Chains A and B, each alone.
Chain A
Amino acid sequence: MTAPTVPASAGAAPPTDRPSPETGSSGDGPKTGPRRSLTPYWLLLPAGLWLAVFFVSPFFYQASTSVQSGSLEEGFRVTWDFSNYSDALATYGEHFLRSFLYASFATLLCLLIGYPLAYMIAFRAGRWRGLLLVMVIAPFFTSFLIRTLAWKTILSDGGPVVGVLESVHILDVTSLLGLTGDDRLLATPLAVVCGLTYNFLPFMILPLYSSLERIDLSLHEAARDLYAKPATVFRKVTFPLSLPGVVAGTLLTFIPASGDYINAQLLGSPNTQMVGNAIQKQFLNVLDYPAAAAMSFILMAIILIVVTIYMRRAGTEELV
């Protein structure tokens, strides 16, 4: 090196040629006026109000409900009765377990189905890319309920799907695994998992696609140039770079799937009920609001813990 000073000094700190956005939240210095530093708060206002009315207040309302006792006739009062929580866990522990099991299965299936598709759309689709993306979101053009009802027909006893799976003895395998029984698909755990997978698949594909699509193709070329076989290019470059999409996609699938009750209601049986069904029943049929609220909070707490552990593990901040 003839004159190492130039790059060495330039590299002493990360390049700062991009001006950092003015957040206005702290230490703006004397140059920025008060009006400018308020702008971010104005921008936050609509979402803030919305969340205050439709999330924060119901949150506290339900929190208080969850520690009430009484009955519908006599009215509920806050008695700090935490037995609602222990009772809910004792009675519906199985429902919680089932919810997370089904949601995990569905998330895994979504990833296995969605990743190849997102990969294909991002790298191989050429001019069909737009059309394929529209097709991914096309199911949203009809309602969630209608689509799930359609699955009821698809999986119905004596229907073509059951017939085919029966004739190739797949149903025997799944029945051995405890996913189906009595040579039927409807009203089995498999049907619920299939419904969840189908309904949440776009939430997996879209984040996967957007993170794959951002990968610079020259990175693939660089990897191939550096002796990586196609499979290694995927393992060492493409997949690690798509991890933010994997994390976002799994969260967007897992979280709503674990709280879902429509799929279990329409495609399952009393033996496949998820915690969402239990909450719904408590709220709308039994009218035991404190129990329903307690269950909601338990569900929320478990999801928060699971997601926190997951995000820590995935270390998403290291990426991108």
Chain B
Amino acid sequence: MTITLSGVSKVFGDFTAVHPLDLTIPEGSFFALLGASGCGKTTTLRMIAGLEEPTGGSIRLGKEDITRLPPHKRPVNTVFQNYALFPHLDVTENVAFGLRRRGISSVQKQVEEMLELVELGTLARRKPRQLSGGQQQRVALARALINRPQVLLLDEPLGALDLKLRRQMQLELKRIQTEVGITFVHVTHDQEEAMTMADTVAVMNAGRVEQLGAPDELYENPRSTFTANFLGTSNLIEAEIIAVEGEDLRLKAVGADTVLRLPAQRCAVEDPRAGGKVLVGVRPEKISLTHADDSETSDATGAIPEGSNLLTGRIRDAGYLGVSWQYVIDSPVCSEFSVYEQNVERDARLTPGAEVVLHWRPSHTFALDAAQDADAGTVEETL
């Protein structure tokens, strides 16, 4: 069922955890609330679960207003961050808990089916403390899913697992969601997790939704510096709009003579006009490097495609990651330009100290309002 949050806010004392929030979570979707700790994502989830009462606004499930409904009356179940399994009950009784509370006495078959779904059939009589973290996670999932909730809420469910298990559980959760078709609302601070699993991601920052959309849309076309930096990495350059030419914008980077171009629809500034300041962004993997000596040649390998955005710089550092090379490049417009080059046919001259030309397609460029903090959402800022 569709969840609709209208103007929902939460204030704790003098701290506003969630500013008035409007959010529609469509039925059957895998929806992720993504943000750093303290951004209000868990509070939002807890308000949907009924564990926290909103200070203002209303929450609807389908057509029904559930804002003041106590948690045990909501057709919503939660997978808690620390799983919150009942330590005095075995796996079967943990999973059967919700069914029994609703007066269903013949639970055995359903519990078995559910444990089958999460592949825990053999551990039905174990106590939670006898299970590994991954198994506890599955029990928590089974305990919530067995109730066939309208919406399943997941509060950082994979946070306590090690990396390998987390990857596996991501696929697992996605498979289960597709299988049962229930709306999943997933809270996470792990952008990769959100992007792999969710079909819609709401990026939250300081109690507000920064941007909402499909993962690729958020990644390819961020509308704020927070999204640009929190989801992956972005190179941001200060620039000034020098002309608006139909569908295209022409900009001049501050500190360089080069003219950059981008499609007007990829500019997050409302009504861009000449003279306006923006932050021009480009993702590191979109950029290609050509050694400065080859920049004038037009043969097939090192050629710079016609109409590319160009910048010059010098390689400061080159790191080998196996699948790719990561370069840090000093350029007049940006002191630490990140560039990821796929590890295919690498030009051996691209070593620290080499003069290079950076080039990328205008359609891979985006522009953001220059009034924001260019470092918002970066790792350093978040930690």
Contact = CB atoms under 8 A, between A and B. Distances in A.
Question: A and B: real partners?
Answer: yes
Interface of A: 1-4, 6-8, 10-11, 14-15, 216, 218-219, 221-229, 232, 236-237, 240-241, 318-320
A216 B81 CA distance: 13
A224 B71 contact: yes
B147 A218 contact: no
Given A222-B78, A319-B88, A2 B70 contact: no
A61 to B, nearest CB: 44
A226 B168 contact: no
Contact of A228 (B72, B85, B88, B171): B72
A226 B88 contact: no
A17 to B, nearest CB: 9
23 contacts: A1-B119, A2-B172, A6-B134, A7-B135, A10-B132, A10-B134, A15-B130, A216-B82, A218-B84, A223-B86, A224-B71, A225-B144, A226-B72, A226-B77, A226-B143, A226-B147, A227-B98, A227-B101, A227-B102, A228-B101, A229-B101, A319-B88, A320-B87
B164 interface: yes
B165 interface: yes
Given A15-B133, A225-B144, 6 more contacts: A14-B130, A219-B84, A219-B86, A224-B50, A225-B78, A227-B147
A231 B302 CA distance: 74
A1 B72 contact: no
Interface residues of B, number: 41
Given A1-B119, A7-B138, A11-B132, A225 B51 contact: yes
A4 B168 CA distance: 9
Contacts of A216: 82, 84
Given A11-B131, A226-B147, A6 B84 contact: no
B124 interface: no
Interface in B210-225: none
Given A227-B101, A228-B101, A229-B72, A237 B86 contact: yes
Given A1-B119, A3-B168, A225 B86 contact: no
Contacts of A229: 72, 101
B164 A6 contact: yes
Contacts of A6: 134, 164-165, 168
Contacts of A241: 87-88
B325 interface: no
Given A3-B168, A7-B138, A10-B134, A221 B147 contact: no
A221 B51 CA distance: 7
A3 to B, nearest CB: 6
A225 B154 CA distance: 12
Contacts of A7: 119, 132, 134-135, 138, 165
A281 B133 CA distance: 61
A232 B97 CA distance: 11
A240 B168 contact: no
Nearest to B123: A11
B129 A224 contact: no
A110 B84 CA distance: 31
The interface centre, meaning the residue of A7, A319, A320 with most chain B CB atoms within 10 A of its CB, is A7
Contacts of A4: 119
Contacts of A11: 123, 126, 131-132, 134-135
